[in-house]
Structure 1
Amino acid sequence: MVLIMCPKTGRAADASNSAPSSPTVSLTLADSVRMAMSHNYNLKYYQGAKEKSYWALQQTKAGKGITVTYDYTGERYKPTSSNHYTNYFDNQVEASVTVYSKKIDAEIEEAKQDLQYADLDVTAVRQQLKGTVISDYFSALEYRNEFKISQDTIKNYQDHLNFVQAEFTQGLVAKTDVLSSQVNLANEQDTFIQSRNNYNNAIAALNNDIGLAHDTPLILTDAFGYLPYSLTLEECLQYALSHRPELAQYEAKKKGAIAEIAEAKSGKFPTVKLGAGQEWYDYQKVSGFNNGNWFVELTASFTLFDSGLVNAEIRQSKYNLDMVTNQADAERDSVLLEVREDYLSMKEAAQRIKTDQVTIQQAKENFSIESVRYSVGAGTNLDVLDAILSLNTAQVNYTEALYDYNNYKAKLEVAMGVPVV
């Protein structure tokens, strides 16, 4: 729970602006990521899809396994040339296996690539979920810092207003100094209210990521930090080409498309099955086990004429491979562009961090100077109000730069395909 000072009453208040209905939870960034991996419904969906693909592969492989069947027949019939009824009871057990089928081989390969694609889906969703959690965690930190900055700014405006009102009471300053100071204070109080609402929404979003009730109060124990990123842009691009799961998925899709061509071509080849069995039969007893014989059979099936069906399927499959290849090339370009944009945005934010650190020190010094100058009658009220605003702007800019740096760093790692550990 984050306690803040109410800008109007000066009393301590919860940042959520309402009584919490759930116990407060203390969270590090690592805790948040771990909880999201365990509770996120979208991730569970893709994990289920992966399991479904696994069993689809097992189902397809069963097409080349041994099948054992048992049939029982019991019948009573009357030949047209006879006045007597005849009974016939038959038991048959047969084992069969497909010894040659290009179609089943191709279907198995397609199912393998589908499973690989589903596995990479889980990897991609895990990476994206980690990026989302980090972004939402940092958003909450950013808004928490911003309403703390707004608190400090309100205090500066209030202290200055108190001084101006005392000076006005003694007839030392004009009424306009009081009014302008009051307006600036009221405007910052509005900013404070907006920052508090932004924080509450960010906490709700983070709770949604990690599977907690949206109104659960959180204590975020991690803070913004700045650690220079060691990899070069070229190293990031090369890493993405080797590790981004979406690119690996297109390799699986291309292999699947090649297997689809082989499946289409299988229509030009025979399917061969081998079978063996035992039969028992009887004309009197219902059990049908009085007589018996065994058999072995080899069957081959082949389509002699199909009106061009197989050729049409082959052409469709080849065009599908071309389409997948083009999509893979487009995805590669998109990934490289995403890495480049995130990397450059991260570097730009790093430069702003350094600049804003200096600006804050200068703004603090300027505010101190202008406050003293006004107190001795050497400066104007506008100079002090501008100094307060400049300090506020510098502090907000620094907070935003820290957020941007850490957020783009997280997005860069997602774009590169850095594994979730």
Structure 2
Amino acid sequence: MYSQWRRRQRRAAAAAVLGTVLFLPFSAHAMSLTLTEAIDTALAANTALRITAEGERSADAALKQARGKNSISAEAGDTLRTSKAKDEDAQTSNSLSLSARLPLYSGGANEANIESGEIGAQSARLTTERAREDLKYEVITAYWDAVEASKKVEVQRDTVNKYDAHLKNVTALYDAGAQAKIDVLRSSVELSNARQELISAENSYEVNLTTLRNLLNIARTEPLTLTTEVTYQPFEKPMEDCISYAYRNRLDLTVERAKLRQRELAVESARAGKRPSVNLTLGTGLTSQFQPRHDTSSDVSASVGVSWNIFDSGVTRGAIEEAEAERDIALLNVKKEEESIDLNLRKAYLNMHEAEQRFTSTGDAVRQAREDYHIANERYRAGEGILLDIIDAQTALATAETNAISARYDYARYRAQVENLMGTELTESEHAAAEGLPAVTAEERAAAQAAYIEGGTDAAVKKVK
């Protein structure tokens, strides 16, 4: 009966090994990807970044509208009129008109709106650039997450192999009458638990790869081989210098300050409602009468009109107060952004140094844990140790190796976070890659329309029903 149990154990072990091989990423035809290549790929294809970049077009269009409202506008009209008065013949005429209008004075509203539009257009470009910096950080984090996960898969696979070899050793000793059956059972349980941890580690690796593919906007099933390894680079800049640098270089903070200026201009525009507006109008017209007689006349006119809102039941006052409140909110948002930068940078900086300390202290722990495992294993083979010594030594070794991996990649991620929070600029090559980000194409619009017609409409109708 025990020999049958052993055969079942061997079959289970073989199935587990085969399953591990089948579910591990097959790298024969995988795309090799360095961290630099990953960043460049994302900057040239990420959908979220494309959405942000489209905001530049929207801001430019708003600026065109603001400038147009302070320039010449022209209108043309054509009116066909027929009328009949009592005891008179019917009259039919056609009037053509052409007029041009030029604002001479708007109380400062048009000028404020134009300046606000210029600030908005510049802010949109800064927002896009900041989105690129954030995307770079996201890619770095996802890349290191995936590499770290692959390293932990190796640790778990090594643990499985050690427990498998140990089970074979214990079984041989049991067959020779040198060990109790309980050691065989406990070793089998530990092997099963290690396989569970390996399955979990492999899944984490695949999940992290999925996140990375999404950021790069590549085929979601594209096999990847990540080739960049973490290299330790000391970070020498003091925390306070990092914060000062961030206050000067964070583009999103610059955007918040620009929004404050826009809200100040909105107050000026609202106050213009209390001032008069002056417009120059030039016009010409041609009127042709058909009944009761044929006659044609033309005219040319020029006028300067002044309009002044004397009383509007507090509408203008309310608009001014609303604009002033929005201005103060923008001011507080600047203060809040500065506080967030300070807090987040301090946290990331402290976390980076904590990871650095862990990284520098884990090397000896791994070496000692390996030596401890070797001693425990040899003592057990010689009949001088107990099974618990091997289990504890293997657990300590796996923990030390996992901690070393976590510390190494935690430091790399926190360093990238500190640099991102400081507002570190993209490199020239990264800017060049970002220039390749495509705008929305006619083909994409047509495909979206077709998808709506073929699927979205039907789905909506079914939902209503």
Query: How many residues are aligned here?
Result: 412
Deviates more, 1:7-16 or 1:322-331: 7-16
How far apart are residue 66 of structure 1 and its match?
1.3
Rounded to whole Å, the distance in 2 between the matches of 1:248 and 1:283 is 63
| 1:58-69 matched pairs, under 5 angstroms | 58-69=64-75
Which of 93, 98, 101 is the aligned partner of 1:96?
101
Rounded to whole Å, the distance in 2 between the matches of 1:139 and 1:106 is 48
Q: Is residue 205–residue 214 contact of structure 1 (8 Å, CA) maintained in 2? A: no
Output the aligned Cα RMSD: 2.6
Which of 244, 249, 252 is the aligned partner of 2:250?
244
Provide, for residues 372-415 of structure 1, a one-character-per-residue CA deviation record: whole Å limited to 9, x for no partner. 33333333332232222211111111111112111112222222
Deviates more, 1:6-15 or 1:47-56: 6-15
Q: Is residue 16–residue 195 contact of structure 2 (8 Å, CA) maintained in 1? A: no
Deviates more, 1:49-58 or 1:334-343: 49-58
Rounded to whole Å, the distance in 2 between the matches of 1:372 and 1:222 is 37
The amino acid across from 2:398 in the alignment is: N
Q: Using a 3 Å threshold, how does the CA distance of structure 1 residues 345 and 18 change in structure 2: closer, same or farther?
A: closer
1:359 is aligned to 2:362: no
| 1:41-80 matched pairs, under 5 angstroms | 41-80=47-86
Provide, for residues 7-50 of structure 1, a one-character-per-residue CA deviation record: whole Å limited to 9, x for no partner. 75545955645889xx7332222222222223322222222222
Q: Could you tell me which residue of structure 2 aligns to residue 201 of structure 1? A: 207
Deviates more, 1:386-395 or 1:116-125: 116-125
Rounded to whole Å, the distance in 1 between the matches of 2:386 and 2:103 is 96
| 1:14-413 matched pairs, under 5 angstroms | 14=21, 16=23, 24-80=30-86, 83-101=88-106, 102-283=108-289, 291-413=297-419
How far apart are residue 192 of structure 1 and its match?
0.6
The amino acid across from 1:319 in the alignment is: A
Q: Is residue 16–residue 200 contact of structure 1 (8 Å, CA) maintained in 2? A: no
Rounded to whole Å, the distance in 2 between the matches of 1:194 and 1:284 is 90
The amino acid across from 1:211 in the alignment is: N
Rounded to whole Å, the distance in 2 between the matches of 1:61 and 1:7 is 75
Q: Using a 3 Å threshold, how does the CA distance of structure 1 residues 180 and 14 change in structure 2: closer, same or farther?
A: closer
Q: Using a 3 Å threshold, how does the CA distance of structure 1 residues 29 and 19 change in structure 2: closer, same or farther?
A: closer
Deviates more, 1:93-102 or 1:378-387: 378-387
How far apart are residue 251 of structure 1 and its match?
0.6
How far apart are residue 301 of structure 1 and its match?
0.8
Residue 266 of structure 1 aligns to a residue whose secondary structure is helix
Deviates more, 1:189-198 or 1:175-184: 175-184
Q: Is residue 26–residue 223 contact of structure 2 (8 Å, CA) maintained in 1? A: no
Q: Using structure 2 for the length normalisation, give the TM-score.
A: 0.81
Deviates more, 1:134-143 or 1:313-322: 313-322
Q: Is residue 91–residue 289 contact of structure 1 (8 Å, CA) maintained in 2? A: no
How far apart are residue 200 of structure 1 and its match?
1.2
Q: Could you tell me which residue of structure 2 aligns to residue 3 of structure 1? A: none
The amino acid across from 2:63 in the alignment is: L
Rounded to whole Å, the distance in 1 between the matches of 2:36 and 2:363 is 27
Q: Using a 3 Å threshold, how does the CA distance of structure 1 residues 99 and 178 change in structure 2: closer, same or farther?
A: same
How far apart are residue 55 of structure 1 and its match?
0.4
Q: Using a 3 Å threshold, how does the CA distance of structure 1 residues 170 and 13 change in structure 2: closer, same or farther?
A: closer
The amino acid across from 2:285 in the alignment is: E
The amino acid across from 2:307 in the alignment is: S
Q: Using a 3 Å threshold, how does the CA distance of structure 1 residues 96 and 118 change in structure 2: closer, same or farther?
A: same
Rounded to whole Å, the distance in 2 between the matches of 1:91 and 1:175 is 109
Provide, for residues 277-314 of structure 1, a one-character-per-residue CA deviation record: whole Å limited to 9, x for no partner. 333344459xx996444332211111122223222222
Using the aligned pairs only, state the percent identity.
Answer: 28
Residue 79 of structure 2 aligns to a residue whose secondary structure is strand
Q: Using structure 1 for the length normalisation, give the TM-score.
A: 0.89
How far apart are residue 150 of structure 1 and its match?
1.1
How far apart are residue 245 of structure 1 and its match?
2.5
Residue 64 of structure 1 aligns to a residue whose secondary structure is coil
Q: Is residue 153–residue 198 contact of structure 2 (8 Å, CA) maintained in 1? A: yes
The amino acid across from 1:57 in the alignment is: L
